[in-house]
Amino acid sequence: MTKGGIPICIFDKDIGMFQIIYKKGKVISSFGVSWTTTTTTTTKAKVTTMKTSSSSTIKTTTTTCEYLFIEEVLFLHERGLLQVYYHYNNDSNNNDSINNDDNDNNSNNNNKNNNDNDDNKPLDTKELYNIMLHQLHIPIQVYLTYSYLRSQTFIVVRHTASRYNLIQDGSNNNSGGIGSTNGENENDHSCITIDDNNNSSSNDNDDCGNGKKKQRIKSDKIKMDLRYDTFHAPIPFVFGYDEEDDDGNDNTLSRITTTSATTTTTLPTTTSTNKQNLDLSTKIAFDVYQPNSQYRKSNPGLPNFYVCICNLAQPSPPFHVIKNLIRVCNDIPLKVAAIADGGTVIMFGLTDYGVPSLLE
Global pTM exceeds 0.85: no
The per-residue pLDDT for 50 is 56
The per-residue pLDDT for 268 is 46
Distance (Å, rounded) from C-alpha 148 to C-alpha 139? 15
Cβ within 8 Å of residue 191, ≥6 positions away: 202, 203, 206, 208, 209, 212
The per-residue pLDDT for 245 is 42
The per-residue pLDDT for 277 is 67
Report whether 283 contacts 321 (CB < 8 A): yes
Distance (Å, rounded) from C-alpha 261 to C-alpha 157? 22
The residue type found at 252 is: T
Rg (CA), the chain: 26
Among the listed residues 162, 150, 136, 141, the one whose alpha carbon sits nearest the alpha carbon of residue 308: 141
Per-residue pLDDT of the chain (360 residues; tens, 9 = 90+): 445 688 999 999 889 999 999 888 788 888 988 887 766 666 665 555 555 566 667 777 777 889 999 999 999 999 999 999 987 665 544 444 334 444 555 555 555 555 555 567 889 999 999 999 999 999 999 999 999 999 999 999 999 998 998 888 877 765 544 443 333 343 343 343 434 444 544 455 555 666 677 777 777 888 888 889 999 999 999 998 764 443 444 444 444 333 333 334 444 454 554 666 667 889 999 999 999 888 888 888 899 999 999 999 888 888 888 888 998 998 999 999 999 988 999 999 987 776 666 775
The per-residue pLDDT for 178 is 45
The per-residue pLDDT for 168 is 86
Among the listed residues 271, 345, 280, 333, the one whose alpha carbon sits nearest the alpha carbon of residue 303: 333
How many other C-beta atoms are found inside a 10 Å radius of the C-beta of residue 120?
Answer: 16
Torsion sign across C-alpha atoms 151, 144, 71, 73? negative
Among the listed residues 81, 18, 29, the one whose alpha carbon sits nearest the alpha carbon of residue 291: 29
